[in-house]
Structure 1
């Protein structure tokens, strides 16, 4: 799954071609130059379009950052829900959550790198309420899965607010370390070890 595939999956069709191009160029600049240092003019020059076209699609730079961030989260959630839908047991569900997280980062490193860098600015910026609304809608299936009666009994040893941190925390930490270049082994190589560690942390095995 390359960047272009992600964008074509999320914004298909010829009418969205300029939007996809702005996204691609902005993503590269944000990752290479930093979010603060990147200007709309820099993005305009890379896209060979007008500032007005960028503002038409995204309003301002904060809107463009948020749109990229939401696109990444939605694509990540799409893969997660696909994996989770095949899980028949609680353990399989935990493995699905870890595997989908690791596989998405492994296949979309530029999007994942941006996602980590942009999280603070989006959660503290003018789109924080929209993020909260989107998170609630996006996590509906996950919350339903976690609260299912059988799983609720099986996982009752862990506080509900702690569950996702226990399940994803170690994978998230390794993925960040890999994206920063501090380790060489792809997270996908260790997906089963990370999933097993997550299961042990909540199951008491």
Structure 2
């Protein structure tokens, strides 16, 4: 990697770190180009050069958080001894990630991030291929062993992650759910939804 590329990556990380701090302290309304250039020390031109727009900053930040989350989920699955413990571990890993990184979770589940995902879903999925392939292979292996229901992998993913995402969004927005209680209640219920038996 050239020095110019290294400087570019450092600048991008500087902007992303500042954006996360601003989002955490001031929310979506506080994350403006002016606030971001002031907090990061990066010029508006440089910001637009690296990210294209403020939405591009939010999308990149959300993808960085998603990458960290997927790494956590893959690790949880790969350490499990069977499908049941894997599904349960993935649910708990997601909830633990959110508790440990609430600001990253907030931006990952934000309206601008959702909009970006809906607009560029296929590109985003392609960019996360390295993280998603082990999950699909894990699902396939446990379907072959007779533990997981014979459903398409995206359906299994949705049945496992859908309730977790709903709980996390409610915790982030309304705040009337306890993630520790969710970690006790959800894993077994979710497992029953994808178990072959």
Q: What TM-score does the superposition give when structure 1 sets the normalisation length?
A: 0.78
SS of residue matched to 2:149: coil
Rounded Cα–Cα distance in structure 2 between residues aligned with 1:152 and 1:164 = 18
Aligned to 1:6: none
Residue 114 of structure 1: CA displacement? 0.8
* 8 A contact 1:94–1:167 mirrored in 2: yes
Question: Relative contact order, CA 8 A, sep 6+: which one is greater?
Answer: 1
Residues 83 and 39 of structure 1: CA distance in aligned 2, closer, same or farther (over 3 Å):
same
Aligned to 1:26: 19
Residues 128 and 161 of structure 1: CA distance in aligned 2, closer, same or farther (over 3 Å):
closer
Task: Please identify, of 168-177 and 51-60, the stretch whose mean Cα deviation from structure 2 is larger.
Answer: 51-60
Uncovered stretches (5+) of structure 2, i.e. residues with no partner? 1-5
Rounded Cα–Cα distance in structure 1 between residues aligned with 2:121 and 2:165 = 22
Aligned to 1:120: 114
Aligned to 2:91: 98
Counterparts of residues 34-183 of structure 1 (less than 5 Å):
34=28, 38-117=31-110, 118-125=112-119, 127-148=120-141, 150-151=143-144, 153-156=146-149, 158-183=151-176
Task: Give the paired residue count.
Answer: 190
Q: What TM-score does the superposition give when structure 2 sets the normalisation length?
A: 0.80
Residue 168 of structure 1: CA displacement? 2.0
Uncovered stretches (5+) of structure 1, i.e. residues with no partner? 1-12
SS of residue matched to 2:130: helix
Rounded Cα–Cα distance in structure 1 between residues aligned with 2:122 and 2:158 = 22
SS of residue matched to 1:34: helix
